């Protein structure tokens, strides 16, 4: 009987200790949030990236338009041949294959251009993102935050401090 009381006492003590420990740990955690988009769109120099991307996109679009113009010309020529009564099936097949080849190259170019534009954006944004994350880490450590979240990924935040202005100050943004 004494052993059972000792075991029950020990179990009760362990349960209470672990709950106190959990409460103590959560009381020590400090949560903050930032408006990542607001900060990065206000960083000095970020507007030049949009200009570069717009020019890059326009250059690729010009090439795409030239390819489309070639396709339209070949398609018109194909339709004339197809409507002519004296055009052989062999010639129509060759012209159709040529038309399909141009169309395939246009699609491949479009996909490649989309990937190139995304890659260019990533390349140009990377230094800004690195600088911003470094500032967030610096402000978080200086103010003893355990967790800092971006508000765009939070559906609700109650007891959390907004660190956006502190991070902006760290980056020299007004």
DSSP labels, 18-46: HHHHHHHHHHH--EEEE-HHHHHHTSTTH
C-alpha gyration radius of the chain: 32
CA–CA distance, 118 with 3 (Å, rounded to integer) = 69
Which residues, other chains included, contact 152 with Cβ-Cβ below 8 Å and sequence gap of 6+?
35, 36, 37
Q: Rounded to an integer, what distance in angstroms lies between the CA atom of residue 78 and that of residue 72?
A: 10
Using an 8 Å Cβ cutoff, are 172 and 44 in contact?
yes
| Residue count (the chain) | 174
Whole-number pLDDT of residue 8: 56
Q: What integer pLDDT is reported at residue 7 of this predicted model?
A: 60
Look-up of token digits 């339709």 = 79
Task: Give the residue extent of every domain in the chain.
Answer: 2-171
Residue written as tokens 């052993």?
A: 3
In this prediction the pTM is: 0.65
Tokens of 118: 């995304």
Q: What are phi and psi of 52, to 5 degrees?
A: -65, -45
pLDDT in tens, the chain (174 residues): 555 655 655 555 556 555 554 444 445 788 999 999 999 999 999 999 989 999 999 999 999 999 999 999 999 999 999 998 898 999 999 999 999 999 999 999 999 999 999 999 999 999 999 999 999 999 999 999 999 999 888 777 677 888 899 899 999 998
């Amino acid at each position: 009987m004494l052993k059972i009381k000792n075991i029950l006492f020990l179990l009760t003590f362990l349960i209470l200790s672990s709950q106190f420990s959990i409460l103590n740990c959560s009381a020590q955690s400090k949560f903050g949030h930032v408006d990542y988009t607001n900060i990065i769109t206000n960083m000095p120099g970020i507007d030049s990236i949009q200009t570069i991307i717009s020019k890059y996109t326009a250059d690729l679009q010009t090439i795409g338009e030239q390819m489309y113009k070639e396709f339209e010309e070949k398609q018109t020529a194909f339709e004339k041949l197809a409507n002519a009564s004296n055009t052989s099936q062999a010639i129509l097949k060759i012209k159709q294959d040529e038309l399909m080849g141009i169309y395939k190259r246009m699609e491949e170019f479009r996909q490649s251009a989309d990937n190139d534009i995304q890659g260019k954006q990533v390349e140009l944004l990377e230094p800004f993102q690195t600088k911003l994350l470094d500032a967030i880490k610096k402000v978080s450590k200086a103010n003893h935050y355990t967790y800092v979240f971006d508000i765009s990924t939070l559906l609700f935040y109650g007891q959390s401090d907004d660190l956006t202005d502190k991070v902006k100050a760290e980056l020299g943004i007004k």
